[in-house]
Structure 1
């Protein structure tokens, strides 16, 4: 289990939504330092956070961030994009762009920071997924998050022996800019952040932050028609 008191964390996509809530919640739990990353670090508003420029899909940017943040003990891969490209009609480049941000981006960041976590005595990796990791309803977004979920599961096996715990966070609709146009019940970023940090501190393998995530995860062992009622129409 990981103690957040006195930890040094890095949160990608730390300027808004869940990332912004995670930065605040980490300080509330006694983190000594929190690096909050964004493409434009001027967008970081928390008064105590350490703003850090980062484009997760740019290897040079990732290397520069890792060179600066050599004291990290908790890494949170939260940054993501929602292109939602259609597999039949959208340009294939849109699909690739989604994977660059949602799959290859956190992979680059993780590979850069694993040696740092090891040098600092081990630590924790939290990857922010989605209920759409399990349901293919959003084209390239669902596919990229499904691949990211698989990445997390593989990393958990490889990093455990190296003293690094791995938690996957799954959540449905959250009251953020990304879901502004969605008319459905939404979790608050603060509530999701609290559950995520509870998961880190308890050593949870996965955190299912809302009812829909728990329902869909439970339904993965059932017939496809239960997840895709359109198939029975």
Structure 2
């Protein structure tokens, strides 16, 4: 789908990748951009409509779908990342917390907005995923599980929404230079770079985009023997 004249809803739009999506959507001629955040006062970008949207609050998600009934593109960007492995004392609590936002959050939003997209001609959903969907390390093991679940959700939504003409795009990427990754000493892409690649892919009709070189290398390694996912991602 094309961004020109589109009506876009972005979750987690107050900073980082979400803010970059909002800026780029406006630059590409979006007719309207709803910028969702838990605290709408944190939305300061001119030209967008701030929207109170906590993806963990079902009533708030439903209210957003009623208010933003003209949406043609949903960008499920809101997410959290906590360090730690499965066997840590907090492993189960961490898994529940991250799955709530990173899996159930986009599921709630997609369920609420699928009828809106159908009524507006099909449109598209773009889910922000991660290279951690495919590889793991103790530092981000539980986070990776939540993103693996979000990847499976993306693949399932693609099949379920095909009949109503909704494009579903999964955006895979490595580390991006945002507040969330400020304590990670690894090479990082800029939010602007990954967002441009994602929206280029969306406008080209793609269903998957590998937004940086690391992700492209990892995707190739999935078919290797032994598979790259069998190694600790730190190695």
TM-score, normalised to structure 1, is 0.95
Give the 5 Å matches for 1:1-233. 2-91=1-90, 92-137=92-137, 138-224=140-226, 226-230=228-232
1:199-232 CA deviation, whole Å, 9 max, x = no partner? 110011111011110011111112346444459x
Cα separation, partners in 2 of 1:15 and 1:230, compared to 1, 3 Å: closer
How far off its partner does 1:121 sit?
1.1
Alignment check: 8 A CA contact 2:221 2:227 kept = no
What secondary structure is seen at the aligned counterpart in 2 of 1:139? helix
State the alpha-carbon separation in 1 of the partners of residues 232 and 211 from structure 2.
26
C-alpha distance in 2, partners of 1:9/1:159?
18
CA 1:206 to 1:225, structure 2 compared with 1: closer, same or farther past 3 Å?
A: closer
Structure 1: state its 5+ residue gaps: none
Partners in 2 of 1:230 and 1:123 — Cα distance? 38
Residue pair 2:6, 2:32 contacting (<8 A) in 1 also: yes
Instruction: Tell whether the 8 Å contact from 2:132 to 2:144 is kept in structure 1 after alignment.
Output: yes
Alpha-carbon distance between aligned partners in 2 of 1:66 and 1:90, rounded to the nearest angstrom: 38
Measure, in 2, the Cα distance between the counterparts of 1:73 and 1:167.
Answer: 14
Aligned partners of 1:196, 1:173: CA distance in 2, in Å? 15
- Any conservation in 1 of the 2:136–2:229 contact (CA below 8 Å)? no
CA distance in 1, matches of 2:136, 2:36: 29
Q: Does the Cα contact within 8 Å between 2:53 and 2:64 map onto a contact in 1?
A: yes
Ranges in structure 2 where 5+ consecutive residues have no aligned partner: none
Deviation, structure 1 residue 45: 1.5
Q: Give the length in aligned residue pairs.
A: 231
**In 1: Cα distance, 2:47 partner to 2:224 partner:** 47
Contact 1:85 1:95 in 2 (8 A): no
TM-score normalised to the size of structure 2?
0.94
Q: State the secondary structure of the residue aligned to 1:51.
A: strand
Conserved 8 A contact 2:135-2:228: no
> Structure 1 residues 45, 139: CA separation in 2 closer, same or farther (over 3 Å shift)?
same
Relative to structure 1, the CA distance from residue 226 to residue 139 in structure 2 (aligned partners, 3 Å threshold; closer, same or farther) is closer
CA RMSD of aligned residues (A): 1.5
